[in-house]
Every structure is written in structure tokens, then in C-alpha cells.
Amino acid sequence: MTSTGRGRLYGVGLGPGDPELVTLKAARLIATADVIAFHAGVGKESNARRIAADLIPATATEEELRYPVTTGTTDHPGGYVGALADFYEECARRLAAHLEEGRTVVVLAEGDPLFYGSFMYLHDRLADRFPTEIVPGVPAFVAATATVAAPLVRQTDVLTVLPGTLSEPELARRLADTDGAIIMKLGRTFRAVRSALAQAGRLDHAMYVERASMPAERWLPVADVDPDTVPYFSLIVVTGDSRNGRRARSAAEARPRPTTPGTTPSAELLVVGLGPGPDDWLTPEVSAALAQVDHVVGYAPYVHRVPQRPGLQRHASGNTVEVDRARLALDLAKAGERVAVVSGGDAGVFGMASAVFEAAEDPTYDDVHVRVLPGLSAVQAVAARAGAPIGADFAVLSLSDRLKPWSVIEQRLRAIAGADLVLAIYNPASRSRVDQVAHARKLLLEHRSPDTVVVVGRDVGRAEESLTVTTLGDLDTDSIDMSCLLLVGASSTRVSSTGRVWTPRYVEGQVEGRV
């Protein structure tokens, strides 16, 4: 790294609060520093300086970096974010002046410098100008885990660290999706955090730790904490599920469904469509079903759309293991669990319904009844936004060649184009399939006029939604990706004077009986 100054910058972690948890390296650097810098809250003593007080040499210049605002309101024109950005710029200028004079600058950081620490913002501004070294420290959650003496994660448990400032629904979802968890940044967020823990079914295994490793340290179950007494220097430890037995339970060990003597257990698996995105497009039938199941199985982005509640277990997986996840769901249902497999849009349109029936052909699952609940499909959503482009006969085709060869796709494209049908194209492109939509356009132009109307719907129903009406000749295939659905009109498809796209129900010359 090239330096324009002679000084060296250190970000030194001090651990969670007990001075005896400061590392030997951190202590050595503090004792030999020319400049000691530390952050302090509004009207508060710097906790970082308190931890290192006995190590700071009398010869060191001290730079107190006092925040202009913490979580309150500010009259800064840029709001809270703008006020802190200006603050860090000023801090960087002050420390840069020392570094340019060749001084060694140690910035004290509670816990670890790069774990929710203020030092990282100075690092962003100074590390490319001066030689910089990070000295790790013991994070507060490690001390908190030691305090409650509860193993956090073991074996294949997954640990997630969460800020309590996340929205309550997002916290609940993430808590339900992980094994062990640490929740930081409490204080005024505590009530929402406790509610999220309850929704995720994790409250019974959550311990609150306050001022870990400090003289005023205390810990107790989260359920017993008075929210009005929670300080910023507190966190929550949620021990891993292999310890609590929740995720360790296999489908074969699931609780049996109550039955009438002399009858065979009734097993049912629901396959539901969540619609293209907005909650308003979720059907009441599907909402009611999701409120009753104990397990949700599906592709991770779709599983994440299901609101969390106590007792709901989530089984998220990748995008190319449809039959495997179907078998998991069938196994759970067979064992008496209430299970829903979720798909985006409609589960029966390039969704999980077909994969479930494929897996269910195994005689093992003969006693599992599969019930499919419809959802609003993406083609319907895009068509409605455009007007009525599928008001007459239309075809639906996926350009993905993962489960069928491209030669079959070409054959079907030609047949649809030759039949003069409106065509809805799903999965037009991906990171690994960048040329197929261009090939499809070229093939369609062999049968259709360049003036054929094309609608490109992107992320329809979401905040980033866009809708483009163009023609087959002008279609920019380089701009198409997996977020898009294409509607290629028939020869009769037209655009109204108001920009609405529609396809007549009738064929010219066959207008008798129109209603």
C-alpha cells in the first residue's frame, strides 16, 4: 500500500468491557501510541477509554471523538445519516493531521473493531492513505455466551447475528430460519425483538445479557426482562437448535396426527401459489392454509415471503432441487405433519405442483393426498398491467432448457408462431442463458411481422416494477433477465390510443355472435 504520510493507523479491539480481556498485542500498541482516539456518546463517558484507562501513557495525545447525535432527532439537513457522515469526515480529518505528521494513532474500539464498530467508518476514509492494521478483540456476544454458559452452536448449527433495528417481521423470519442467533442493538428495540422471538417460536431459548464481562453484568430469560430497563450495552443469545431439539427432529420422529381407532391416518400435503409478489395478490384461501400449517417448504425467496408465527418451521432450499424438496414435504406429511409447499405465482405454472406429483409417484406416498391451491400467475399480472393482451387464445412457454433440450423449445416456438397465438415467455434469460431470448426473437421474426406488439413486464407487483411496450423488431434482448416476463402479441394484438395493449376475442371475418 502506498502512503502519503509517515504515521500508522491501528484499529484496536478492547473486548466487551473487562480490561483483563484486552489482548497482549492491543495493550502493547496502546502503551506505545503517540495518539489515542476514542468515541464517546452524547453526554456520556467513553466506555472504550474506560476499558483502556490503565494502559494509556501520560505522553499520549488523546482525541475524543464525540458523536453529535445517537438515536435522537437532529436538525442536520441530511438527517441522522447526514449528521454521522459529516461527523466521520471530521474525525478522519483530525486523525489524518496526526498521521501526516508521522504519529502512531490507535483508535480504541469496544469489542472487535470491524464488528458493528465505529472504527470501520474511519477505516473507510483513511486506510487507502495510511498504513493501517486491525487488532481483533473479543466480541461482546462471545462474552455474553460465556456468561450464560450455554453452548451457542454445535455440529452443523448455523449462527446468525442480527441487529435489533430490523423490522419485526424480518427479525421473526430470520430467527425462524436459523439455528443459533445473537441479537444486538437492543435498548428501545427490545419490545419488538421480544415479539419477534415469540413469533419465531424462539422465546423459550432466548437469554438476555446486559453489560457482559463488566461489574454490572446481569443475565436472565428474555421473557422476564422489563423493557424499560434495557440499556444499549445488552444483547440476546438464542442457543442453537441441535441443543433444543427443534431442528434435530426428523420427519420420521414428527408427532402423529390424532386418528379414530380402526382408521388409517389421513395425510395431506398442500401445494400453494403465493402470487407474483405483493401481499394483496395472495388469495384468502392460501392465507388461511398458511396460517394452519406447521411446515413451509420451498425455494428460499418464496419461503421467506411467508409471515413467521410461533411454531412454524421453514425448510428453504436452492432453485434446482425441486424433487428433493417435494420428497421432504411428502415425508413430513406422511408422518402426520401439516405441510405446505410454496411457489411464486401459481404453483401449477412452472411451479412446484408438478414436482410434487412427480415425487408422489413413489408408492411410499400413496397415502398422502396432494391438494393444490391456485395462485395468481405472473402472466396474469403482467397482462393486467398491460391491458388485455391475452384476451384471446394464447400459449405459455419457458425458455429454460434445464429440463428440456433447446431443440424442443425451438420446435414449440415455431408451432406457436405459425399458429398466430399470443405467447407468454417465462424464464427468458439468466446468468447462464444470455443468448436464448435473442435466438427466440430471431425465430419468431421468421413468422411474425417486426411490428408485432411485445410487452416486457419486470418485477410486476413489486416496488421496482416496470412495464415496457415495444415491438418484436425493436425488442432489446440485452435488457432481458429472469425478472422479466414477455408477452409477444398475435397479428391481431393492438395498442390503443391510451397505450393499452389488447387482443380481440374474435378473428377478422368471424364476428357473428360477439358479446
Give domain status of residue 513, yes or no: no
Q: What's the pLDDT tens digit per position in 153-174?
A: 988 889 999 999 999 888 988 8
Q: What is the percent of the chain where pLDDT is above 70? A: 92
Average of per-residue pLDDT across 380-386: 96
**Judgement on whether residues 216 and 153 belong to the same structural domain of the protein:** yes
Residue 514: its pLDDT value, please?
Answer: 53
Whether 278 and 337 share a structural domain: yes
Q: Is the four-CA dihedral 289, 292, 297, 302 of positive or negative sign?
A: positive
CA angle 404, 371, 403 (to 5 degrees): 5
Q: Would you say 297 and 303 are in contact if contact means Cβ atoms under 8 Å apart?
A: yes
DSSP H helical segments within 364-465, as ranges?
378-386, 406-418, 436-445
Among candidate residues 280, 286, 306, 302, the one with its CA nearest the CA of residue 350 = 302
Write out the DSSP string of 312-372: -EEEEE-TT-HHHHHHHHHHHHHTT--EEEEESB-TTSSSHHHHHHHHHTSGGGTTEEEEE
Quote the number of domains for the chain.
4
Query: What pLDDT score was predicted for residue 379?
Result: 96
The per-residue pLDDT of the chain, averaged, comes to 89
Number of residues written out for the chain: 515
**pLDDT value at residue 160:** 95
Ramachandran angles phi, psi of 112, nearest 5° = -110, 140
pTM beyond 0.75: the answer is: no
Domain-located, residue 249: no
Q: Is 225 left (phi over 0), alpha (psi -120 to 50) or beta?
A: beta
Span 176-205, average pLDDT: 90
In a domain, 335, yes or no: yes
Using 50, 70 and 90 to split pLDDT, how confident is the model at 510? low
Mean pLDDT, residues 280-303: 93
Shared domain for 453 and 436, answered yes or no, is: yes
Q: How confident is the model at residue 253 (pLDDT cuts 50, 70, 90)?
A: very low
Residue 252 lies in a domain: no
Of 376, 392, 420, which residue sits at a domain end?
376
What is the predicted pLDDT for the residue at 279?
85
Q: What is the DSSP letter of 265?
A: P
Q: How sure is the predictor about 430, in pLDDT bands with cuts at 50, 70 and 90?
A: confident
pLDDT of amino acid 99: 97
* pLDDT, mean of residues 358-378: 95
pLDDT of residue 458: 94
Whether residue 335 is found in the same domain as residue 320: yes
Range of the domain at 12: 8-137
Do 13 and 130 sit in the same domain of this protein? Answer: yes
Residue 148 lies in a domain: yes
Domain boundary among 89, 118, 137: 137
At 237, which CATH number?
3.30.950.10
* pLDDT band with cut points at 50, 70 and 90 for residue 83: confident
Among residues 355, 352, 246, which one has the least CA distance to residue 299?
352
Q: Among 343, 376, 409, where does a domain finish?
A: 376
Confidence of residue 55 (pLDDT cuts 50, 70, 90): very high
Q: Within 13 Å of residue 397, how many CA atoms lie on the same side as its CB?
A: 26
* CB within 8 Å of 159: residues ≥ 6 apart: 152, 153, 178, 179, 180, 181, 182, 240
Asked whether residue 448 falls in the same domain as residue 354, the answer is no
The band of 457, judged by pLDDT with boundaries at 50, 70 and 90, is very high
Residue 70 has a pLDDT of 65
Same domain as 489, residue 460: yes
Q: What is the pLDDT of residue 258?
A: 43
Question: Does residue 515 belong to any structural domain of this protein?
Answer: no
pLDDT single digits (tens) 209-249 = 999 998 889 999 999 999 999 987 899 999 987 666 654 34
Residue 251 falls within a domain, yes or no? no
The answer to whether residue 511 sits within a structural domain is no
Judgement on whether residues 156 and 176 belong to the same structural domain of the protein: yes
Whole-number pLDDT of residue 6 = 76
